[in-house]
A and B are shown apart, each in its own frame.
Chain A
Amino acid sequence: MVSRREVLKLSGATAISASLGAIAQDIAPADYELDIAAVTLDVAPRRQVKTTGYNGQAPGPLLHLKEGRTVTIAVTNHTDHPEVVHWHGLFLPPAVDGALEEGTPPIAPGTSARYTFTPAPAGFRWYHSHVMAMGDLTRGLYSGQHGPLMIEPRNNPGLYDQEFFLALQDWDGYLSASEDGAMNPSYRVSTINGKALGSGEPLRVKQGARVLLHVVNTSPTEPHWVALAGHELAVLALDGNPVPRPQRVRMLRLAPAERVCAAVEMNNPGIWILGEVRRHVQAAGMGLVVEYGGQHGAPRWQQPADLSWNYEQFATAVPIEAAATPAIAVPLVFESRFRGHGAMEAWTINGKSYPDTSAAPLVSGQRYRLLFINKSRDDHPLHLHRHSFELRSFGKSLDGSGTARVNNVGGIIKDVVLVDAQTQAEVEFVADHPGATLFHCHQQSHMDQGFMLLFTYA
């Protein structure tokens, strides 16, 4: 059996040889530079979070890239452990996608790496650390290594007056006993763009303006619901991809790694709170003030009575016709393994944990239907690297009581989907980006504990 460490060594070696061909590109100056280093965030007047960030901040700088225009990003690792940057949602070769398991080389402590790639597809993406954290709740996605990445389409209609990028993050994690009988991360602080509610600069808007919000949940493990008091949010895109049926909603739900682009008509002057709907999370800091020009007073919050969200409201209204080429079904069963009340659970895909997980090689050009069979008691935000997929079916209960809550829908293109506990969801994608492709739960604690699978191409 190949150990996890050996797999990482092998994949790293492959990627290093692949990167030799890019040495010539190293001579040219980089378009962007990212420095990975320790940073102390002043999340509130008397609350600091010591973490690791990009360019001395968390979230990292907004990177505005042009679709189809090759870019080079130089990354220097000033920490004392290897790092890697994943360009989440892009169709990139494995050598630069930013996953060690696919073959992207790690950035050794004190060294630099250059990521040269041609960004695609257009839309709201993000970049983040993709190392394992294991028991260290300061590394990987637990850290401040995340930032917004906007891939501008060749033709941007620009149907908005202002745009804001918002990152939802949970900080200062610790392990606590949960009702599922295992240890799970909990957090002391939650922020939007690294600031607790009332501590950062407000979003200053003008009455009558059309504001575009690009929201990404960078949390290592937690889903978040956010609302803007006094306003509705018109959802235009999920995970950076336009939805077939834009809808006005009271709140957004974002599982870890999900993004939502929503337009807001600023037609209700005042000082408002944009924040987490759940009281305890907003109390932990997740919120910010939205301030109309010329308005004064204390920020106002209107507490929703419940949580509401579903994917299907954005899907095509009528069932789409079956694809000309039938998709090959790939069942993936997710389960946990108890490892003691004082430990996190181990995770399996089809009975095995990474690196022992496996699937039949993908055939280029073939359409696949991934059957996400979540037999566990946790919800899982599932992410497929280097590809997008289309939601087709979800909400099917695994207790044998009935069919899928939503079946045979189409038009929602994503790279992360939240599959509820004890349900089955199905997505389809075309294997059109040859190379090693990582699939995993985007909860850092779950991927650390084996919830990963590496697809390969035949």
Chain B
Amino acid sequence: MPRCGFLLLLFVFFSPMARAQGNYEIQVYGSETVPPANLMVELHSNFTVEGERETIDGVYPTNHQLHETLELTGGINDWSELGFYIFTSAQDGHGLQWVGDHIRPRIRVPESWGWPVGVSLSMEFGYQRALYSLDTWTWEIRPIIDKAVGRWYFAVNPAFERTVHGPDVNQGWAFAPSAKISYDFTAVVSGGIEYYGDYGALSNFVPVHNQQQQVFLVTDLNVSPVWEINIGVGVGATAATDHFIIKCILGRRFDFGRHSPVD
């Protein structure tokens, strides 16, 4: 097989998997940012019940990997925040491993502008070890649009990703949208569906068979304004997607601001 053909096959087969940072943080973003002088601490726990079973090109298989991601997000002002991620992975035979770190600044359209939908823009940049992703440095631009109407909530994240260092560095921007629709059954319990896709390079979407297509059934438990709880089970619909994942996000917001009744 010609060398370029082999590389193309490698790209087509693995690039969605390689780009899928989502298995460390599986979340559709809302437009709201963390308030100033607040720190949001989130633990993302994702267990791949059924995933890739083979070590391919030195990348560990995802099957039965437990990904624990610590996300720390500090509010800067009423319209911006800065997030930091520590990705880890635990797996039989490999133990607990550090995977990588990302940094994520985000800005939003202030609510007081009165836009009919919530809008924010996230930029995520970071490193992950080649044992877990051939593309070690990646950059993501994620527009976020959301809207709550009565008991319904809608969010769309048409994200664009590119590799800064790794096999896909020449691929350019790839399209990895996600979306969510949920319904408030009560003030505390919401339930809905989250969708995560990765279509490959914008200039040349990969065949459906090799796209990443995941759908999660999720519930959000709004037990308190300072707690965030999101639990879901997801299935992958294509060969390039992990087939069955369980996810949980547990978040707690800490307010370090000095609040006076006369502020």
Residues of A within 8 A of B (CB): 174, 176-177, 179, 181, 183, 186, 188, 277-280, 303-307, 338-343
- Report A449 CB to chain B, min CB distance, Å: 13
**Chain B residue contacts of A278, Cβ below 8 A:** 261-263
A177 to B147, CA, bound (A): 11
**Chain A residue contacts of B149, Cβ below 8 A:** 340, 342-343
Contact check: which of A183, A303, A342 meets B153 at CB < 8 Å? Answer: A342
Instruction: Check if A280 sits within 8 Å of B261, measured CB to CB.
Output: no
Q: Other than the known A303-B262, A340-B184, A341-B151, what 9 A-B pairs have Cβ atoms closer than 8 Å?
A: A176-B111, A179-B225, A306-B262, A338-B186, A339-B150, A341-B190, A341-B222, A342-B150, A342-B153
Q: List 8 A-B contacts (CB under 8 A).
A: A177-B148, A181-B187, A181-B225, A307-B262, A340-B151, A340-B184, A341-B222, A342-B152
When C-beta atoms are compared, the residue in chain A nearest to B149 turns out to be A342
A-facing residues in B75-121 (Cβ within 8 Å): 111-112, 114
| Contacts known (A181-B187, A303-B262); A174 close to B152, Cβ less than 8 A | no
The 7 closest A-B pairs by CB, nearest first: A342-B148, A340-B151, A338-B187, A340-B150, A179-B225, A343-B150, A342-B149
Best-buried of B149, B150, B262, B263 by chain A (most CB within 10 Å) = B262
| Contacts known (A176-B111, A188-B112); A338 close to B184, Cβ less than 8 A | yes
A-facing residues in B234-261 (Cβ within 8 Å): 260-261
Instruction: Check if A342 sits within 8 Å of B147, measured CB to CB.
Output: yes
- Report A347 CB to chain B, min CB distance, Å: 15
Number of A-B residue pairs, CB cutoff 8 Å, is 59
A338 to B260, CA, bound (A): 29
Instruction: Check if B263 sits within 8 Å of A280, measured CB to CB.
Output: yes
Q: Is B161 an interface residue (CB 8 A)?
A: no
When C-beta atoms are compared, the residue in chain A nearest to B147 turns out to be A342
A280 to B32, CA, bound (A): 21
Contact check: which of A186, A277, A342 meets B151 at CB < 8 Å? Answer: A342
A306 to B260, CA, bound (A): 7
A303 to B149, CA, bound (A): 40
**Chain B residue contacts of A280, Cβ below 8 A:** 263
Instruction: Check if B148 sits within 8 Å of A304, measured CB to CB.
Output: no
**Chain A residue contacts of B263, Cβ below 8 A:** 278-280
- Report A142 CB to chain B, min CB distance, Å: 14
**Chain A residue contacts of B148, Cβ below 8 A:** 177, 183, 340-342
- Report A254 CB to chain B, min CB distance, Å: 16
Contact check: which of A186, A307, A340 meets B261 at CB < 8 Å? Answer: A307
A404 to B29, CA, bound (A): 46
Instruction: Check if B153 sits within 8 Å of A341, measured CB to CB.
Output: yes
**Chain A residue contacts of B261, Cβ below 8 A:** 278, 306-307
Q: Mark B187-230, 1 if CB is under 8 A from A, else 0.
A: 10010000000000000000000000000000000100100000
A279 to B190, CA, bound (A): 36
Instruction: Check if A186 sits within 8 Å of B111, measured CB to CB.
Output: yes
- Report B257 CB to chain A, min CB distance, Å: 13
A278 to B261, CA, bound (A): 7
A304 to B150, CA, bound (A): 40
**Chain A residue contacts of B151, Cβ below 8 A:** 339-343
A47 to B184, CA, bound (A): 38
Best-buried of A183, A306, A342 by chain B (most CB within 10 Å) = A342
- Report B237 CB to chain A, min CB distance, Å: 29
A181 to B32, CA, bound (A): 14
**Chain B residue contacts of A305, Cβ below 8 A:** 260, 262
- Report B80 CB to chain A, min CB distance, Å: 18
Best-buried of A188, A277, A339, A340 by chain B (most CB within 10 Å) = A340
**Chain A residue contacts of B190, Cβ below 8 A:** 341
A257 to B151, CA, bound (A): 32
